[in-house]
């Protein structure tokens, strides 16, 4: 499992509001280039986010499915990666003493050829990618208007 974390100067509800907005995923998920559709019940368990991954012209259409949710605290996703398999992504929000929210993002391959990639090699790609994703998520959450500055 690859784990990254970031402390965001925003309330957990503001961070979770970004996660709950399926249309925002192309703005913060690195590699997600276009959101095609979001199920109306997103982020309820079983709901789907329909997206394109990759850079044009090498984009593939795929989906991400909500596997678990604790509003304001946790979102568990299964991201399908076309023929490469699927990954489990868990986002946990923890209040920080004095204000802010620690966002922990954990990702692991769960099926397909990507599961055979040795963890150190996969982590070398995922850690920088996921650090950037959390930086973008933080920017969106702090821009929602309820920051702790």
Say which CATH class 2-142 falls into.
alpha beta
Q: List per-residue pLDDT tens for the chain, 149 residues long.
A: 899 999 999 999 999 999 999 999 999 999 888 899 999 999 999 999 999 887 778 788 899 999 999 999 999 999 998 778 999 999 999 999 988 999 999 999 999 998 899 889 989 999 999 999 999 999 999 987 544 44
- CA–CA gap between residue 82 and residue 64 (Å, rounded): 11
Q: What is the pLDDT of residue 53?
A: 80
Q: What is the pLDDT of residue 149?
A: 47
In the chain, where are the structural domains located?
A: 2-142
- CA–CA gap between residue 147 and residue 83 (Å, rounded): 40
């Amino acid at each position: 499992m690859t784990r990254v974390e970031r402390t965001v100067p925003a309330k957990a509800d503001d961070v979770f509001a970004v996660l709950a907005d399926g249309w925002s995923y192309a703005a913060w998920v690195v590699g997600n280039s276009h959101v095609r559709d979001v199920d109306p019940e997103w982020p309820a368990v079983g709901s789907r986010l329909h997206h394109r991954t990759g850079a044009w012209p090498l984009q593939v259409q795929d989906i991400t499915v909500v596997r678990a949710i604790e509003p304001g605290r946790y979102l568990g996703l299964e991201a399908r990666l076309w023929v490469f398999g699927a990954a489990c992504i868990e986002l946990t929000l923890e209040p920080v003493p004095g204000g802010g929210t620690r966002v922990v993002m954990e990702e692991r391959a769960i099926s397909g050829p990507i599961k055979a990639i040795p963890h150190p090699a996969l982590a070398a790609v995922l850690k920088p990618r996921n650090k950037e994703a959390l930086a973008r998520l933080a920017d969106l959450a702090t821009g929602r208007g309820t920051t702790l500055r």
